[in-house]
Chains A and B, each alone.
Chain A
């Protein structure tokens, strides 16, 4: 099966823009949708991006997703960072009825 690799942590200042990458180890990133989940301490994950670049209702348009076939990776971009965006972020995809999560990225907004 494949793996999804994310940076362990990223940090940025309020108001800035940050991008979190998610690289697929084998198979095409475009083969199956990528989702992004936000998890705050002590809470269950919530979806911030689904189907590569779609935002659920209630998620601000500061959150955007994309995929890049040349690097076989997906990206989550958060613009206009707010302190409330500080959380862990996980990418997720699937293949052959098997679900894979990335290792997670801790976003610090300082």
Chain B
């Protein structure tokens, strides 16, 4: 059973960079066949895809966030990470990591972590 767990600061100051890590267990990122994803949900709102990465390092980002997002992978630690720069209060959200197959079906999700942007 694949499990994903987000970790990182729950509070980030405006204009700083939000950094989160997702640790995968029960499966290897480097085995291929899946895209490792970040999705967020603003309080009381819907789901927003941020982007995903393949084990090889190929990345795909939401065009609306592309200029501020970097997703990276560390196969040796079986982790992938999200960096979102120049954050504002509008970036306050629950951030989920998830696994997607090649036709973008999200089959495993982390529990989500709330990140608040505030001074």
Interface residues of A (CB under 8 A from B): 1, 32-33, 35, 37, 39, 43-47, 50-51, 56, 90, 92-94, 97-104
Contact = CB atoms under 8 A, between A and B. Distances in A.
Given A33-B105, A94-B104, A98-B63, A44 B96 contact: yes
A50 B49 contact: no
Contact of A98 (B46, B60, B98): B60
Interface SS majority for chain B: strand
A93 B112 CA distance: 21
Interface residues of B, number: 22
In the A-B complex, list the 5 residue pairs whose CB atoms are closest, starting with the nearest.
A44-B109, A94-B104, A99-B49, A104-B46, A101-B47
Interface of B: 37, 39, 46-49, 52, 60, 62-63, 96, 98, 100, 103-107, 109-112
A92 B110 contact: no
